[in-house]
Amino acid sequence: MQITSFKQYEEDFKKSVENPEQFWGEVAQNFQWRKPWYKVLSWDFKEPNIKWFEGAKLNITENCLDRHLEKNGDKPAIIWEPNSHEEESVTLTYKMLHERVCRFANVLKRNGAKKGDRICIYMPMVPELAIAVLACARIGAVHSVIFGGFSAKSIADRINDSQCKLVITADGAYRGSKQIPLKDVIDDALIGCPTVEKCIVLTHVRTPVSMLKGRDVWWEDEVKHVNDICEAEEMDAEDMLFILYTSGSTGKPKGVVHTCGGYMVYAGYTFTNVFNYQPGEVYFCTADIGWITGHSYIVYGPLSQGATSVLFEGIPTYPTPSRFWDIIEKHKINTLYTAPTAIRSLMSYGEGPLEGKDLSSIRVLGSVGEPINEEAWHWFDEKIGHGKAPIVDTWWQTETGGIMISPIATVTPTKPSFATLPLPGIQPILVDENGKEILGNDVMGNLCIKFPWPGMLRTTYGDHERCKQTYFSTYPDLYFTGDGCLRDQDGYYRITGRVDDVLNVSGHRIGTAEVENAINMHAGVVESAVVGYPHDVKGQGIYAFVINPEMHGEAELTKKDILQTVTRVIGAIAKPDKILFVSGLPKTRSGKIMRRILRKIAEGDTANLGDTSTLLDPNVVEEIIEAAKALK
Ligand code: WT7
């Protein structure tokens, strides 16, 4: 199933459009099924109702573990690089990983977990996180991984939305020179989570934690009580595999649902092709498993292909900004898959951190999460790839399950800042505001997908109507991505960024409404409006306009109070970079905030505010412009 020439890409693409069922049926033959499907695809984008590989039975962990044991059991599956460079790295072979997953799967069963139960995972980037994820899949429980940067309230909302029965966490996490008290955060969350019966706690930093009798148990104790034999649960292709919460334009995050069969096929197929993975190579994706990139391209994609996947606990700048380059040299990394924000941050340290580092093992480079600017693209190409490693700029989303538009390494000619061409099976179209298809090249529009692919979301947990409204109603019969996009004269795609009220801050997806709700929870705040603005390292920064709150002391102190509230409500990742106190917001006569104007002000582009004739009170704008100039 690996594409080795551009001609083959074109042929496969053509086939995938003309006969999608045959195409994906053949791709799926490369996986292990307990029972074959009787129908490759049935679909309806109106409902939406999408089924891939209907009737087929499988367990994704048999594909990620068991099937490699005979020939590649002693091959490294996961190489763990700890936060501290002084600590030893850990290698888990496929045999070892299989054994630990089975053992922990038995721990889950022992603690009452059954097929279909939802399990929340809130852990640091340690091998046990991958083990916990796979153990859920082994017994058919649905994992909901929550990134370690979210607050207790965010966790509680997510746990309650999907009624999780179990939580898996650790005492704490290391993040560079900091320690994060994960179990404390979970304890706060669980005060408001009546469905949670058990909490399994891994010892990692060994900080003191409270352990509630009857609810909390230690990972290390539990594994002693079970053996390592656990037959995989037989799953229907359309049974739920996991839920992953993501932000949208409304305040409440959505639980994106992925199912077993289609997701597995799509993650595996895209992994092997986009990165042109060769047996024996070492692959390093720097994402966190708390995001979709980690699910698909640290865990399921690479492991389903028998690859060696590096799992890094720390951050790129600890102990020094040479850390990534040290890891590449140490583990002889062949593929580095990272985010533009990390590249820009490392670029800012100049070439010093690269001196004397041997990066000759690098063969393929990847970028994900946000548009990569040309400067960062060239730096990545020259300094890290030495002009010899193709860069795959991969566009996709939590909802798409896997990479959608991207070069295929060594196959597709690349172009700086372009995600290039759709992968086989993907049918993108650009539409105008009225949903009319924009044909031809050298055009811009809203990016939609007109035909299903196996990795697509099936629903949003507990609220199918919301899935329909968010993705399938803006433009009838199309999946709407929320992204703007241009198609150049060569038919190459370049993603220009979100066209809805979703921000991309350091590759993290944050809804403006979510941040506004958090700010508005602060005592004394009446109303606020949040927009994004261009930020050199983060891609986008968060700019909050807040109607003069009641002050307790200096304005600066009140700003800090507000940041504290946002950290409590969502997490530190959603903290505004700038807060501006204003006496009013620019509103239309019908009371709608004109965000377009605020965006311009945040960008510092006030010469051209566009049509302001519908404003209720134009004076407000003048005042905000003046105040914004004074803000650092
Ligand atoms: C949004 C999805 C998918 C993995 C991580 C993010 C933006 C993603 C690219 C890219 C330009 C990109 C889009 C998209 N995005 N990759 N290569 N070029 N923009 O997943 O949190 O679901 O965010 O990230 O705006 O809609 P996510």
> What per-residue confidence (pLDDT) applies to 255?
98
List, for residues 309-332, the tens digit of each pLDDT value: 999 999 999 999 999 999 999 999
Q: Atom 24, ligand 1: which residue's CA is nearest?
A: 369
On the question of pLDDT at 52 being above 80, the answer is: yes
Q: Is residue 177 part of a domain?
A: yes
pLDDT value for 249: 85
Residue where a domain stops, chosen among 383, 401, 422: 422
Question: How many Å apart are CA 408 and CA 396, to the nearest integer?
Answer: 14
CA nearest 548: which of 540, 538, 559?
A: 559
Distance (angstroms) between ligand 1 centre and the Cα of 403 equals 10
Q: Which atom of ligand 1 is nearest to the CA of 398?
A: 22
Query: Quick check: is 429 in a domain?
Result: no
* Domain boundary residue, one of 363, 388, 422: 422
Boundary residue ending a domain (407, 422, 437): 422
Residues with CB under 6 A from ligand 1: 246, 292-293, 368-371, 393-398, 419, 481-483, 495, 498, 504, 509
**pLDDT value at residue 552:** 85
Confidence check: pLDDT of 618 > 90 = no
User: 342 C-alpha vs ligand 1 centroid, how far in Å?
Assistant: 15
Asked whether 418 and 493 are in contact (CB, 8 A), the reply is: yes
Average pLDDT (478-503) is 97
Same domain, 147 and 243: yes
Q: What's the confidence (pLDDT) of residue 27?
A: 98
User: pLDDT band at 613, cuts 50/70/90?
Assistant: confident
Of 552, 191, 580, 256, the closest CA to residue 396 belongs to 256
Measured in whole angstroms, how far is the alpha carbon of residue 239 from the centre of its chain? 21
CA dist 452 to 60, 208, 228, 404, 480, Å? Answer: 21, 49, 39, 11, 12
Q: How many CA atoms lie within 13 A of 602 on its CB side?
A: 24
**Does any domain span residue 457?**
no
Quick one: which atom of ligand 1 is closest to the CA of 496? 11
Structure tokens at 500: 């809805």
Q: Which residues of 456-485 are buried (b: 16+ CB within 10 A; e: fewer)?
A: bbbbbbeeeebbbebbbebbeebbbbbbbb
pLDDT at 608 over 90: no
Ligand 1 centroid to residue 397 C-alpha, Å: 5
Candidate from 396, 501, 540 with most ligand 1 atoms within 8 A of CB, to mutate? 396
Has residue 42 been placed in a domain? yes
- Residue 141, pLDDT above cutoff 80: yes
Supply 582's token pair: 């204003």
The protein residue with its alpha carbon nearest to ligand 1, atom 5, reads 369
Say if residue 392 is in the same domain as residue 524: no
Q: Are 159 and 195 in contact (CB under 8 A)?
A: yes
**pLDDT level of residue 250 (50, 70, 90 thresholds):** confident
Tell me the CATH number at 621. Answer: 3.30.300.30
Model confidence at 632: pLDDT above 80: no
Q: Is the same domain home to 514 and 410?
A: no
pLDDT of 502 > 90? The answer is: yes
Give the range of the structural domain holding residue 67, as residue numbers without chain letter: 6-422
**Is the residue at 394 inside a domain?**
yes
- For the CA atoms of the chain, what is the radius of gyration? 24
pLDDT band at 380 (very low <50, low <70, confident <90, very high): very high
Pocket of ligand 1, candidates 286, 397, 470, 503: which has the most ligand atoms within 8 Å of its Cβ, to mutate? 397
Nearest CA to ligand 1 atom 20: 397
pLDDT in tens, 54-74: 999 999 999 999 999 999 999
| 21: pLDDT strictly greater than 80 | yes
Inside any domain, residue 456: no
Say whether pLDDT at 604 is over 80.
yes
Q: How many other C-beta atoms are found inside a 10 Å radius of the C-beta of residue 385? A: 18
Q: What is the mean pLDDT of residues 72-83?
A: 98
pLDDT at 13: 98
pLDDT score of 33 = 98
pLDDT confidence tier of residue 129, bands split at 50, 70 and 90: very high
* Closest C-alpha among 337, 463, 487, 469 to residue 403: 337
- Please state, in angstroms and as integers, the Cα–Cα distance from residue 151 to each residue in 175, 187, 202, 213, 250, following that order: 16, 11, 19, 24, 19
Query: Which ligand 1 atom is nearest residue 509's CA?
Result: 21
**pLDDT value of residue 550:** 87
- In this prediction, residues 601-615 reach a mean pLDDT of 88
Number of domains in the chain: 2
Q: In this structure, is residue 486 part of a structural domain?
A: no
- Domain membership of residue 608 (yes or no) is yes
Q: Quick one: 519 and 409 in the same domain?
A: no
Cα 482 to ligand 1 centre (Å): 10
Residues, the chain, total? 632
Q: Kindly report, residue by residue over 456-467, the tens digit of the pLDDT.
A: 999 999 999 999
pLDDT band of residue 302 (cuts 50, 70, 90) is very high
Mean pLDDT of the chain: 97
Q: With the CA atoms of 537, 381, 449 and 273 taken in that order, what torsion angle do they form, in degrees rounded to the nearest 10?
A: -130
Q: Which CATH number do you get for residue 20?
A: 3.40.50.12780
Q: Residue 251's pLDDT is what? A: 80
CA angle 165, 309, 261 (to 5 degrees): 55
Q: Say yes or no: 522 and 412 in one domain.
A: no
User: Is the domain of 408 the same as that of 531?
Assistant: no
Atom 6 (ligand 1): residue with closest C-alpha? 369
Give the helix, strand, coil percentages of the chain, each rounded to 5. 35, 25, 40
